[in-house]
Amino acid sequence: MRGYQVTFFTQQDHKHRGQPLGEWLLTAAQRLGVAGATLVAANEGFGHHRKIHSARFFELADQPIEVTMALSQEEIEQIFNLIKQEKINVFYVKTPIEFGMTGEL
């Protein structure tokens, strides 16, 4: 199947509707019927403000978070429409891919 890999980049302390944005994106994808998504917590990173964000022993709020999904054209339209409706401001990378499953389910 052809589609897109979309990775959203955020931080642990970025919230939407009282929930960490990374978790919100994961839950939204699940509600839309996306086959799978992965949330990864990173050790360090920096964004457009050039400030280093990292997970410290006493403070995890600044920890970088990535949410990655493999999406069909229809799914990408659904998730981006939802993000627009919710007025969410989040950086993403979108790459054309081929994806599928090997073996039998």
- What is this structure's pTM? 0.83
70: β partners:
5
Work out the number of other CB atoms within 10 angstroms of the CB of residue 80. Answer: 15
Structure tokens given for 34: 């996306």
Q: Which domains can be identified in the chain, with CATH numbers? A: 6-14+23-88 (3.30.70.120)
pLDDT of residue 41: 84
Beta-carbon contacts of 79 under 8 Å, excluding residues fewer than 6 positions away, are 6, 28, 29, 32, 34, 69, 71
Assess whether pLDDT exceeds 90 at residue 11.
no
What is the mean pLDDT of the segment spanning 55-75? 79
Which pLDDT score is estimated for 49?
Answer: 63
Give the chain's radius of gyration (CA, Å).
15
Q: Which tokens sit at 35?
A: 């086959």
More confident residue, 15 or 62: 15
